[in-house]
């Protein structure tokens, strides 16, 4: 007696025969279905360093920029290049600065302040820019107090004893003195 197999919709008789044959001849061990982990090769190709760098740069833009700048600061090549550029441009920058009235010995100098001093003879002197005034009025001081000294070859930072002492007469000075050789703050 043969069993009648009722056809299923969408299957023809040849497919049913194949299914019946496959059931009779299957091995006793269960069939292993491949998983996603099985599809990954055991030794994948190593990731390239540039790809890791680009991914890090995209994920951490602030940290990447900070590290990039720190690296440039430590780099001897970058430092050498900056020093070369500085040497090449220094004369040009100096010439440009000397044309600027705020950097010349005038009343509009960026460090110039208003001064009111009383001299040893009682006269009151009002002026702006102490260094310029001392240079123009050297006759008011002892000749040994107006010997100008350059600081490390920088003429624009020259000083003399009168300039230093009168600067300390200003009440806001950190090394304030009330009087120097008869000179006092008059304001």
pLDDT tier at 96 (50, 70, 90 boundaries)?
confident
Looking at residues 145-152, what average pLDDT do you find?
80
| pTM greater than 0.85 (yes/no) | no
What are the percentages of helix, strand and coil residues in the chain, rounded to 5?
50, 15, 40
- Say what the pLDDT of residue 158 is: 78
* pLDDT of 25 over the 60 cut: no
- Say what the pLDDT of residue 123 is: 92
Where is average pLDDT lowest: 14-18, 41-45, 142-146, 152-156? Answer: 14-18
Judge whether 69 and 75 are in contact, CB under 8 Å.
no
CA separation for the pair 13, 136 (Å, rounded): 122
Which whole-number Å values give the CA distances from 143 to 32, 94, 139, 179, 185, in the listed order? 107, 32, 8, 19, 22
CA separation for the pair 6, 78 (Å, rounded): 85
* pLDDT of 59 over the 90 cut: yes
pLDDT tier at 66 (50, 70, 90 boundaries)?
very high
CA separation for the pair 43, 25 (Å, rounded): 36
Please give the backbone phi and psi of residue 68, each rounded to the nearest 5 degrees, phi first: -65, -45
- Say what the pLDDT of residue 124 is: 94
Looking at residues 70-96, what average pLDDT do you find?
88
The residue behind tokens 């930072």 is 157
Judge whether 118 and 184 are in contact, CB under 8 Å.
yes
Domains in the chain: boundaries = 49-99, 114-185
Judge whether 80 and 87 are in contact, CB under 8 Å.
no
- What's CA 155's distance to the chain center, in Å? 31
Share of the chain above pLDDT 90, in %: 19
């Amino acid at each position: 007696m043969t069993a009648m197999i009722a056809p299923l919709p969408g299957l023809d008789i040849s497919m049913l025969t194949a299914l019946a044959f496959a059931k009779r001849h299957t091995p006793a061990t269960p069939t292993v279905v491949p998983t996603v982990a099985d599809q990954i090769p055991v030794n994948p190709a190593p990731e390239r360093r540039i790809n890791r760098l680009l991914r890090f740069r995209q994920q951490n833009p602030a940290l990447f920029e900070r590290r990039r700048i720190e690296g440039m600061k430590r780099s001897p090549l970058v430092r050498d290049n900056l020093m070369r550029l500085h040497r090449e441009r220094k004369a040009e920058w100096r010439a440009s600065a000397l044309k600027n009235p705020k950097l010349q010995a005038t009343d509009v100098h960026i460090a110039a302040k208003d001064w009111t001093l009383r001299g040893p003879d009682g006269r009151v002197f009002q002026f702006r820019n102490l260094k310029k005034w001392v240079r123009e009025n050297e006759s008011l001081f002892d000749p040994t107090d107006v010997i100008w000294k350059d600081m490390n070859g920088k003429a624009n930072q020259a000083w003399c004893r009168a300039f230093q002492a009168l600067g300390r007469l200003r009440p806001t000075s950190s090394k304030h003195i009330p009087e120097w050789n008869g000179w006092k703050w008059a304001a």
